[in-house]
């Protein structure tokens, strides 16, 4: 809910996508998010320069934050970080495994000093696993967890999902876990230590193909734009483009045969009478559906499918998305001017949240240093806390 987290302070020692995704959602909900960046900046600032010379990744995931540059090798800057953590509600970090422990701001040390603090650590692999110390990035996890193996077609081979889904899903999981921890703290007065990994997140998402393989004995096939366990549910070629058609139950299948295919006897064919049979005979099924679909234009077919309440989707490009009649954009200010993003999906009481500004690198250095370490004794206290840990 917009403003639900007002009064909540989040310190984010973050980079790339997963942690910034989570904290941008906390910022959207009204939290104060202080983003700690290395002197050269979060390296996601340099991923591309498509948005008025700025990174599309960074603009998307860093709205509503304050940027403060810190050099964690400098005692003065560690004192600043410690002073911030002393007043924080949430600390989230996705540095290399063990980095925060070596700095004296690992979860065990922090929660001993600040029992109400919620600490969220994001890594590539779960703690205690043999791969805990490995570097891990989105595409590597897509491959390692098996997502690439069930994506694409037989011709293409294993394929990357077209967005940074491992990072995004992990960030979403972190956001949900942080909200749960804050709710629990309201009841108990105690913070929590959250540990979330990219591998675990994607592995959990893969439970359907995993269960299919483990208990069904079948390695899922790569079948491109088709559903592996429902048919017909896939892409067909109209006379002027591609369209995806989805049949979800036997009632819809009968309507589809009667009204679209013009073949009311087809559901009585043993090869096509049940979904499991249709999946087993997908090649012949798709051939017969395609014979009929190929005679339609996309617009004529869409009109018919809407009339008989059969689900479909056009196969769109990003140019199509930009002009889609159901797309909603949101304005966000950046250091190089206003841009429009695809709007966050949640509507609360009829309203979408307004998005706050994307910060320049180090834009808030001076006010934050003055606020948290305005006096030398404040810095000394921060350094002393870190040394004791």
**pLDDT surpasses 70 at 381:** no
Cα distance between residue 353 and residue 355, in whole Å: 6
> Catalytic one among 52, 193, 227, 323?
227
For residue 387, being part of any structural domain is answered with no
Overall number of domains in the chain: 2
User: What's the whole-number mean pLDDT along residues 285-292?
Assistant: 96
- Nearest CA among 231, 238, 296 for reference residue 262: 296
Final residue in a domain of this structure, among 265, 291, 314: 314
Handedness of CA 80, 85, 90, 91 (dihedral sign): positive
Give the pLDDT score at 113: 95
Farthest CA pair distance, the chain: 85
Place of tokens 């921060």: 382
- Residue 387: pLDDT band by 50, 70, 90 thresholds? low
Q: Which domain holds residue 169?
A: 9-206+328-372
Give the pLDDT score at 214: 95
When the pLDDT of each residue in the chain is averaged and rounded to a whole number, the result is: 93
Cα distance between residue 249 and residue 264, in whole Å: 16
Domain identity same for 108 and 83: yes
Most confident region among 11-20, 217-226, 349-358 by mean pLDDT: 11-20
Question: The domain that contains 307 carries what CATH number?
Answer: 3.30.1540.10
Question: The domain that contains 77 carries what CATH number?
Answer: 3.40.50.10540
Domain identity same for 176 and 42: yes
Domain identity same for 310 and 333: no
Phi then psi for residue 147, to 5 deg, are -65, -45
**Which residue blocks in the chain are alpha helix, DSSP H?**
18-28, 56-61, 75-86, 99-103, 107-113, 138-144, 165-188, 198-205, 207-216, 250-255, 275-280, 282-293, 298-308, 318-322, 365-373, 376-388
Give the pLDDT score at 1: 54
Give the pLDDT score at 140: 96
Give the pLDDT score at 3: 84
Its pTM surpasses 0.75: yes
Cα distance between residue 355 and residue 335, in whole Å: 14
User: What's the whole-number mean pLDDT along residues 156-166?
Assistant: 94
User: What's the whole-number mean pLDDT along residues 187-205?
Assistant: 97
**323 a catalytic residue:** no
**pLDDT surpasses 70 at 126:** yes
């Amino acid at each position: 809910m917009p403003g639900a987290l007002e009064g909540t302070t989040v310190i984010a020692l973050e980079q790339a996508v997963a942690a910034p995704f989570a904290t941008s959602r906390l910022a959207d909900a009204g939290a104060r998010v202080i983003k700690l960046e290395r002197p050269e900046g979060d390296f996601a600032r340099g991923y591309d320069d498509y948005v008025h010379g700025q990174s599309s990744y960074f603009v998307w995931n860093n709205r509503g934050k304050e940027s403060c540059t810190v050099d964690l090798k400098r005692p003065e800057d560690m004192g600043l970080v410690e002073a911030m953590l002393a007043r924080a509600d949430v600390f989230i970090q996705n540095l290399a495994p063990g980095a925060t422990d070596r700095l004296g701001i690992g979860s065990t040390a922090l929660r001993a000093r600040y029992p109400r603090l919620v600490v969220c650590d994001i890594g590539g692999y779960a703690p205690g696993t043999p791969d805990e110390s490995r570097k891990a990035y989105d595409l590597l996890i897509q491959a390692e967890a098996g997502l690439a193996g069930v994506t694409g077609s037989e011709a293409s081979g294993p394929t990357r999902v077209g967005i940074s889904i491992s990072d995004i899903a992990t960030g979403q999981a972190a956001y949900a876990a942080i909200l749960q921890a804050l709710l629990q703290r309201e009841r108990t007065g105690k913070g929590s230590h959250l540990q979330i990994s990219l591998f675990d997140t994607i592995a959990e998402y893969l439970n359907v193909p995993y269960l299919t393989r483990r208990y069904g004995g079948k390695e899922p096939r790569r079948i491109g734009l088709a559903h592996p366990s429902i048919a017909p549910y896939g892409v067909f070629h109209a006379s002027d483009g591609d369209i995806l058609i989805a049949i979800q139950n036997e009632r819809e299948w009968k309507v589809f045969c009667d009204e679209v295919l013009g073949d009311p006897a087809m559901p009585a064919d043993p090869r096509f009478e049940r979904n499991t049979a249709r999946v087993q005979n997908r090649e012949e099924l798709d051939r017969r559906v395609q014979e009929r679909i190929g005679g339609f234009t996309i617009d004529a077919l869409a009109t018919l499918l809407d009339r008989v309440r059969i689900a479909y989707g056009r196969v769109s490009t990003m140019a199509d998305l930009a002009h889609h009649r159901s797309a909603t954009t949101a304005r966000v200010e950046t250091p190089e001017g206003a841009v429009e993003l695809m709007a966050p999906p949640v509507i609360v009481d009829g309203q979408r949240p307004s998005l706050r500004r994307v910060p320049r690198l180090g834009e808030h250095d001076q006010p934050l240093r003055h606020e948290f370490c305005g006096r030398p004794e404040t810095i000394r206290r921060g350094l002393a806390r870190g040394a004791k840990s």
